Amino acid sequence: MDTDRNHLGDATSPYLLQHAGNPVHWRQWGPEALAEARRRDCPILLSIGYAACHWCHVMAHESFENVETANRMNALFVNVKVDREERPDIDHIYMTALHAMGEQGGWPLTMFLDPDGRPMYGGTYWPPAPRWGRPSFGQILEGVANAWWDRRADLAKNASALSGHMAELSSPRPGGTLTPDDLTQVGDALFRAVDPVHGGIGRAPKFPNAPLFRFFWNEMFRRGDERFGEATKKLLDAISAGGIYDHLGGGYARYSTDAQWLVPHFEKMLYDNAQILELLASVHTRWPDPVFAERARETVVWLMREMRVGSAFAASLDADQDGEEGAFYVWTADEIDAVLGPAAAQFKASYDVTPEGNWEGRTVLRRVTPRGAPDEEAELANARAALFEARERRARPGRDDKVLADWNGLIIAALARASAVFATPQWLEIARSAFDFVLTTLSGVDGRLLHAWRAGRAGARGMLDDYAAMARAAIALFEASGDPNDLDAAKRLVIDALGRFGDGQGGVYLTATDAADVPGARPRHAHDGAIPSGAGLLAEALARLWHLTGEPRWREAADALIRAFSGAPEGIGGSPLLLLAADMLERGGCIVVDGPLDDSGATALADAALRGSDPGLTVLRLDRTRWRGGLPRDEPPRSPRPVAMLCRGQACSLPVATPEAVEELVISRS
């Protein structure tokens, strides 16, 4: 085997290809790398990151592109690069190990493994020289290598302890059925962490935490307590005005480095924008806001302009340009004066532009004035358009153009929801095209869903999150369109997910039963971070199927899945989507719209239902001519004209025949 070269040149991942020119003899993750470590009797240096990661780029420039450092790495270790977005299962395993060491997580993730893949030691970013109280990367390399040769028994003991801990975390920990009191306790604890001044959770750095705020939005309806909805609205107000939003090109950055949402790490991720778009739609149903409608439209325009891959969407845009973070996005006052001329004064006053700047001598644009009269807003829109055109002439950040099934599932569901709320039916067509692309293009030779695809080449096989997110997307399309094929697709994806990832006790693993390159115990978790967990998404899909069909099997599977994780030692506070699904099972319902899909009256009823604020409600468009094999739930009484009714289980309200009456149904339900 050729061991003295970099092996990343034939990778599909843009992140791995970024490192294909390093003097480090990188390998991709797989059994060959472990075999080489056993042959050489040396540890594995595992480096995990992603294409848009600023500190990943920094460590690459400082260390992996340095010939002296690379020679040391090549002599002492088998070096393996992993794209965390392409292999979230591998990332989860070793991030869990890092947390077990008492270290704070983040990327780049740097782990040292024994030749069997067991973690021995790790960290995140290490500088090229000692600073900030951290040793240099070179010192770490020498220290681990010396320990391997001189104190291997100690490393082996540490590896055994960590592997045992991770195996314990992967073991089923079933608990009881979640109660309203459980949800209340978690909700109260999480609410205490809300920043009452700037919105969001906690202090810097600040993430949007979309799954948590979806839970808050549901709590408002479950409790009848508007504080939770107002916290969600405050978050959206703050990030939509702050520098975390791209006021010229649309789209939200991954997180803010400060508590005020001013300075982001400038990478834009598909999953963040999908979840924020859905939150904008949800909150707009209760508190209509022209800013939310504007941000939703601008974000979709950005998606179509910069993120389209075929009919689906790319993973991310980079934070850096020519090695400088945020260079594409920031401005000086002189630059703005040169572009806008006399219009610059109003724009600078509205977007916090000063001669000294608000970040390192330059300006991150943020809206600091209230929304003005229509003519004022039109002038600002013209200024933004002129600045956007000027910015388009700059060198652009890189794009990670791989297509991920789970992240596309999130944006498909968001577009389907937003299309109804913002009365933009073309967004539903975009969602449909993306869904069809994923199901046809991200399909393995065996017909199974793939996790990743790029430039005509298949990446990793599908994992739990892919099946769960796409099942939820199929349900969102079904609710918006009434097409029975969407419901059938959702059922197939859910059945596949339970079969391929189920643990036999109601719970689920991240990887399939036949995954061959996952070291140690199969990983499992229900924690919702910036990206929602597959377990939470699957529980929600099951709850929605229960209300749409009334079939007990979906209710039973959802109950079992929630119980499988409710006894986790880390508690249920980190799994807000499981909590949301538990409430949906007990409190949710289905608005059945009975009438032909092409009937304008039935469409008006469905639109009113889809614009409902309560996340516990599903929508079933029931065109009796489309269900040749029988209706999806027990047949409601026939009516000579389109009607809607609110159903829970087998009990339904009296039918209503106007959109206003549907809105009253939703309000009375809330």
64: which DSSP letter? I
Give the Cβ contact number of residue 68 at 10 Å: 11
- φ/ψ (deg, to 5) at 63: -120, -50
pLDDT of residue 581: 97
- Residue in 208, 214, 341, 354 with CA at minimum distance from that of residue 273: 208
For residue 338, give the H/E element and its range: helix 333-340
Region 446-474 average pLDDT: 95
- Cα separation, 618 vs 605, whole angstroms: 14
Task: Answer yes or no: is 348 within a domain.
Answer: yes
pLDDT at 490 over 60: yes
Task: Answer yes or no: is 479 within a domain.
Answer: no
- Cα separation, 471 vs 541, whole angstroms: 7
User: For the chain, what percent of residues have pLDDT higher than 90?
Assistant: 82
DSSP reduced 3-state for 468: helix
Region 507-525 average pLDDT: 89
| Res. 669 pLDDT band, cuts 50 70 90 | low
- Residue in 538, 588, 583 with CA at minimum distance from that of residue 558: 538
Task: Answer yes or no: is 632 within a domain.
Answer: yes
- Mutual angle of helices 290-306 and 226-241, in 10-degree steps: 50
pLDDT of residue 161: 85
pLDDT at 2 over 70: no
pLDDT in tens, 422-448: 999 999 999 999 999 999 999 988 889
pLDDT of residue 419: 98
Cβ proximity of 472 and 483 under 8 Å = no
- Cα separation, 277 vs 423, whole angstroms: 14
Region 189-215 average pLDDT: 96
Q: CB-based contacts of 603: which residues, under 8 Å, 6+ apart?
A: 597
pLDDT in tens, 318-352: 988 777 889 999 999 999 999 999 999 999 999 99
Task: Answer yes or no: is 556 within a domain.
Answer: no
Task: Answer yes or no: is 423 within a domain.
Answer: no
Full residue range of the structural domain in which residue 355 is found: 329-394
Name the residue with higher pLDDT: 247 or 638. 247
User: Is-cis flag, bond preceding 205, omega within 30?
Assistant: yes
pLDDT of residue 570: 65
- Cα separation, 585 vs 648, whole angstroms: 10
pLDDT in tens, 388-431: 999 999 999 999 999 999 999 999 999 999 999 999 999 999 99
Q: What is the pTM of this model?
A: 0.95
Cβ proximity of 122 and 103 under 8 Å = yes
Residue 36 token pair: 């080489």
Number of domains in the chain: 3
- Find where tokens 């009607």 sit: 643
Q: CB-based contacts of 382: which residues, under 8 Å, 6+ apart?
A: 343
Task: Answer yes or no: is 597 within a domain.
Answer: yes
- Residue in 216, 194, 200, 72 with CA at minimum distance from that of residue 145: 72
- Cα separation, 14 vs 207, whole angstroms: 25
Task: Answer yes or no: is 551 within a domain.
Answer: no
Task: Answer yes or no: is 95 within a domain.
Answer: yes
- φ/ψ (deg, to 5) at 529: -100, -135
pLDDT at 607 over 60: yes
- Find where tokens 């409710």 sit: 566
pLDDT of residue 569: 58
Region 370-384 average pLDDT: 96
What CATH number did the domain enclosing 596 receive? 3.40.30
- Cα separation, 236 vs 296, whole angstroms: 11
DSSP reduced 3-state for 641: coil
Average pLDDT, the chain: 93
Among the candidates 148, 170, 192, a domain finishes at: 170
- Cα separation, 452 vs 82, whole angstroms: 13
How far, in Å, are 178, 222, 545 from residue 585 at the CA level? 11, 12, 10
Among the candidates 139, 170, 201, a domain finishes at: 170
- Cα separation, 227 vs 216, whole angstroms: 9
202: which DSSP letter? S
Among the candidates 136, 170, 204, a domain finishes at: 170
Can you point out the beta strands (E) in 94-144? 109-113, 119-123
Residues written for the chain: 670
What CATH number did the domain enclosing 68 receive? 3.40.30.10
